[in-house]
A = this chain, B = another copy of it.
Amino acid sequence: MEDIAREANVSITTVSRVIHKRDYVDEDTRKRILEIIKRYSYSIDGIAQSLRRMKTNTIGFVMTQIYPDPFQSAIAMYLEKEARKNNFRLLISNNSGSKEEEKYAIDDFIKYRVSGIVFGYLMEVKNMEIIRRNNIPFVLIERRRNLKNVPIVLLDYYESIKISINHLILKGAKKIGFIGARLGDEVENEIFESYKNTLIENGLIFDESLVYFGWMDVQTGYKGIKKFIDIKNIPDACIIINDITTLGAMQALNKFGVKIPDDMMIVTSDNTLSGFLSPPISSITFGKEMIAKCSFELIIKSIEDKDFKNKVIILKPKLIERKSSKS
């Protein structure tokens, strides 16, 4: 208002009167002020636009679960370290699985003009279009692997389950159970395909009663083991989808007196808590630091080169053998 008053050579009160349509202002003055206001509004738009084009050294990380599953939190930690090394900063938005919040996070990150967005798990595929329209590079991790032309860090789960089962067979397992998340998403489907195929390839029987589908949480692990106990068909080894699910499985095994590894061997994945448990649990890992490094690399390449497209990094799994599989 000061600027407008100065330019129109009137008092701030007069400008205020015109804006709020209050009290009498001479018609010529009113018109003059309105014209200046119009021009100023126009320039505000222009500035807002140039602000939108401004670059920040900030990367946004959109995650679906900060607690209790520590997998995405671990990636967030390494991503921040990677960003820091490269004079970038990381801002995190956790949506606890709310698609509405995912949308808000994207809107915010666009508004704050982040240089790029990394998705720990992208829920709404259509949100990608909003980001694209705003010319902000983004990278997916692990999920939405069936999308075309999207930079993504893929984790080779087919291979990870294959390695786990081969390892358990080598350690003497004859009946290998499976506790995991319900099928539907490509990741879950691939994991379960690998479980079935690898059993058959090794001359073992695929027995549906040794499979329990839930989600990836403590309850699923507990219920999975409880099911095996209830039907009196206890496998001598079990693939458990991730570390937090393993916590629940261990509680059930403990309660029903099934010993790890003597009565049942376990291999899990994620390798977040598994090494800290008693006994330490064998786990597949893709390297959370490596996942963060690769995501960051893809983002930086996308920022530096507007034509950078369809870059896919496939990470291979490694098995960390621990006491839960007689290692």
Contacts and interface: CB of A to CB of B under 8 A. Distances in A.
Contacts of A254: 278-279
A46 interface: yes
A250 B280 CA distance: 11
A39 B94 contact: no
Nearest to A93: B91
A80 B101 contact: yes
B58 A108 contact: yes
A241 to B, nearest CB: 15
A120 to B, nearest CB: 12
Secondary structure dominating the interface of A:
helix
A232 to B, nearest CB: 22
A244 B2 CA distance: 57
Interface in A80-119: 80-81, 84, 89-96, 98, 101, 104-105, 108, 112
A155 B39 CA distance: 55
Contact of A81 (B40, B42, B91, B96): B96
Give the number of copies in the complex: 2
A66 interface: yes
Contacts of A19: none
A3 interface: yes
A10 interface: no
A67 B74 CA distance: 5
Contacts of A244: 276
B92 A80 contact: no
A277 B46 contact: no
A189 interface: no
Given A80-B101, A89-B101, A89-B104, 10 more contacts: A3-B46, A44-B47, A66-B73, A67-B76, A70-B73, A77-B94, A77-B96, A90-B93, A92-B93, A244-B276
